[in-house]
Structure 1
């Protein structure tokens, strides 16, 4: 029997990337996407994930299960802190895009670098890294950086400026840490364009690790 995965996005730009990943890693699954840009826009406006936006995210997850999803992946790290709430309400598996990445990072290094282009993503990712390290009984020091202007550039369609700023920040962060995580799924293509020999420490992005987690878990 074919199983179904629903992906909840806050940006349509992630859809093609996840289509490609799912076709390779979950070839026997049916996939459908749900996009609500207001979830991230409202979170940015407030400066954090608030209760009204959490309720609307939960409503999206409910809609996904009612539409026939066997599992749901929320692909926006900024709204990830609301997922524990949703897990209390639904029996079906709900995946947070950055959980597998956090677990991988804290398992191999004590000094973890977190790179983001949004403050609303940076803080939840830092907290997730710390919580994950605590759950594994590991010491962890988080060193973070927010790439100023990169998010605004990508909103203008200027992906070249976005990628250049992310790469420059990554180059500056790597000498300070044992491992780096890229806090947003949209940053994955920057990593894909960097030759592995140019990376002085392991660098992880969340999309592929999240899809692999779904495969190994289900």
Structure 2
């Protein structure tokens, strides 16, 4: 049986992602490593502190020791740490948002990136830009920061989170051809946002797991 170890910096995505794995990769052993202090430390610092990067690399090493065939990095805020860690870890590391951002960059000229945290928005926008450069394309990036939405969510106000995210989507949709959801936990809003804006909306969980499947199939 193949093993995938998923690394989380917060609690919200583990159960939804488990459901996607059961559908896309039902025969795979899924092991979760969750440390929600990581996103807290990133938000407090406004960037990725060295201690967070060190802990993440340790978790990648733990995943290797567990017997992972593939490591899934589930947090867009730390994707650049995953890029650097690939040279240190002997197991493929898949970033959950790689396929989503590549798909958007390859097909659309104006791309709105929606996020509830600057620490997630900025690296995701950089990733979209890199994907566009790899594809030899020029794209316009639209900032879709839903200010206050993350605070509402962690305060137990999911309806307020969803309202702020919807308002941000409607505001940015006029200047965009596609909306990209920077955080996997926002995937449950994908259909609602698409219906409200009339624009394509991409989220990362299913595309990320399909990427894992492709890597496993190639091993």
Task: Name the TM-score, length of structure 2 as normaliser.
Answer: 0.95
Structure 2 residue ranges without an equivalent (≥5)? none
Query: In 1, distance between residues paired with 2:170 and 2:44?
Result: 30
Matches within 5 A, 1:115-154: 115-154=114-153
Structure 1 residue ranges without an equivalent (≥5)? none
CA contact 1:49–1:81 (8 Å) conserved in 2: no
Query: In 1, distance between residues paired with 2:10 and 2:25?
Result: 22
CA contact 2:64–2:90 (8 Å) conserved in 1: no
Give CA-to-partner distance per residue, 1:5-27, whole Å, 9 cap, x none: 11111112211101100000011
Query: In 2, distance between residues paired with 1:143 and 1:65?
Result: 37
Give CA-to-partner distance per residue, 1:63-89, whole Å, 9 cap, x none: 011012111111111111101111010
CA contact 1:108–1:179 (8 Å) conserved in 2: no
Query: In 2, distance between residues paired with 1:214 and 1:116?
Result: 23
CA contact 1:121–1:183 (8 Å) conserved in 2: yes
Give CA-to-partner distance per residue, 1:80-129, whole Å, 9 cap, x none: 11011110101211011111110010111111111110000011011001
Matches within 5 A, 1:42-191: 42-191=41-190
Which of 185, 197, 200 is matched with 2:198 structurally?
200
CA contact 1:116–1:122 (8 Å) conserved in 2: yes
Query: RMSD of the TM alignment (CA)?
Result: 1.3
SS of the counterpart of 2:90? coil
Query: In 2, distance between residues paired with 1:111 and 1:138?
Result: 11
Query: In 2, distance between residues paired with 1:190 and 1:54?
Result: 30
SS of the counterpart of 1:61? helix
Query: In 2, distance between residues paired with 1:73 and 1:145?
Result: 25
State the number of aligned residues. Answer: 216
CA contact 1:175–1:200 (8 Å) conserved in 2: no
For the structure 1 residues 195 and 46, does the alpha-carbon distance in structure 2 shift closer, same or farther, using more than 3 Å as the test? closer
The CA deviation at 1:217 is 2.6
